[in-house]
Amino acid sequence: QVQLVESGGGVVQPGRSLRLSCAASGFIFNTYAIHWVRQAPGKGLEWVALISYDGSNKYYADSVKGRFTFSRDNSKNTVYLQMNGLRAEDTAVYYCARSRGYLGPFDFWGQGTLVTVSS
């Protein structure tokens, strides 16, 4: 069955870095775009970043542009979100989700991984 499993979350000090991973299985990974979406405690959903099926195109929300880098390794069915210069406002559960094409509905989501930025 389709699975997206996030990992790499944890507690990190402001200004430090963290790398999240999202491992996929149960579907043809290299035919789907992948997104990161986050949810701060008690808040709604915020789209963070998108990577195309082949990794050639990446888009970021203004709130993370220049600090976060999205990459994928289709040989490992895994995407990565490198998060640098973390701020308290980056504290959230981070979900990965897939879509057909760049701009399609997010038809399957992972369970999420919690990132806490605190001194």
Partner 1 sequence: EIVLTQSPGTLSLSPGERATLSCRASQSVSSGNLAWYQSKPGQAPRLIIYGASSRATGIPDRFSGSGSGTDFTLTISRLEPEDFAVYYCQQYGSSPTFGGGTKVEIK
Our finding on whether 105 is near partner 1 (CB under 8 A) is yes
Binding mask 38-77 for partner 1 (x = CB under 8 A): ------xxxx--x--------x-x----------------
Minimum CB–partner distance for residue 13 and partner 1 (Å): 27
Our finding on whether 27 is near partner 1 (CB under 8 A) is no
Q: What is each CA distance from 50 to 13, 16, 26, 60, 72, in whole angstroms? A: 25, 23, 20, 7, 11
Which tokens hold the place of 112? 């999420």
- Sequence-distant (6+) residues with CB within 8 A of 101 are 33
Minimum CB–partner distance for residue 102 and partner 1 (Å): 9
Our finding on whether 108 is near partner 1 (CB under 8 A) is yes
Angle 76-80-85 from CA coordinates, rounded to 5°: 160
Our finding on whether 80 is near partner 1 (CB under 8 A) is no
Using CB under 8 A, list all residues that contact partner 1. Answer: 35, 37, 44-47, 50, 59, 61, 95, 97, 99, 103-112
